[in-house]
Amino acid sequence: MTGKLIKLFESSADDSQVLWSIRGPQEFLMIKLGGFGLIAKYNDDSLAVINPVKLTKTLAEELEKLQEETKCSVKVLLSAGDYHHYHLVDWSKKFPDAKLYVASDRILKKQPSLRNPIVLDQLNPASSIPELQESFDIVPFLGMKTGLPLVFGDKIGDVRVEHVVFHKSTKTLFVTDHVFAGPEMFFNTGGCSIKDADAATKSARKVLALGPKNIVFSHGKEETFSIKDREDTSNNKKSCVQLLENAYKVFMK
């Protein structure tokens, strides 16, 4: 299925596992950032939503159509970054039978009305989501603290939690906030800062070792929210791994 807000992104060779991108409006300090996430088909009859964006009427209608066409139902909602919580209440109401997984306890404090959220293990997040272990690797990106504590109502030095989500069969990496896309990928020094360079370096090396061929960002424009490796290496085009390495230079030891 391809709609206005849900578009086919990638699929495995046998089409047993499929990824769609989702899009919703997102603003921060009156700046239009754009909101993006992924929907993944797994276990033949199940869908997982990674980074639920604003649930508009159009997106809700397209979700219903996607479930009908794929004969799958939404069974997992995953917010992999602890600053991405604004739309979770609406999604959990829309899909009350889906399991809701969140990055950290911070989301519980910001959204106390959420029903039965499951907080990911901070060191081994994949162990908290057994239904996705076959399809995904999840890497905790440790060593960060909030870069704008007063803006978000946090304390100076508070840990910022983000888990990097990797779809194995399509080699697609989803990142929430710690890197952004631009002419060159860059580390988000506005919203994040490094608290423990050793921990951040170890996390970065684990992400690089995954060898992503596609990267999807939670923010951007429709033409910039994702990067894909191409066989054409003309014009010195960098691979996804090379772009990540460049972004991580600001802290890697």
Domains of the chain in start order, with CATH, are 6-248 (3.60.15.10)
DSSP string, 51-116: S-----HHHHHHHHHHHHHHT-EEEEEEE-BTT--TTHHHHHHHSTTSEEEESSHHHHHH-TT-SS
Q: How many residues does this entry show for the chain?
A: 253
pTM assigned to the model: 0.93
CB atoms within 10 A of CB 67: 16
In this prediction, residue 234 carries a pLDDT of 53
CB atoms within 10 A of CB 224: 15
Does residue 216 contact residue 173 with C-beta atoms inside 8 Å? yes
Q: What is the pLDDT along the chain (253 residues), one digit of tens a residue?
A: 678 899 999 987 777 779 999 998 776 666 667 789 999 999 889 999 999 999 999 999 999 999 999 999 999 999 999 989 989 999 999 999 999 999 999 999 999 999 899 999 999 999 999 999 999 999 999 999 988 777 778 888 899 999 999 999 999 999 999 999 877 889 998 889 999 999 999 999 999 999 999 999 998 888 888 999 865 555 567 899 999 999 999 999 7
In this prediction, residue 31 carries a pLDDT of 65
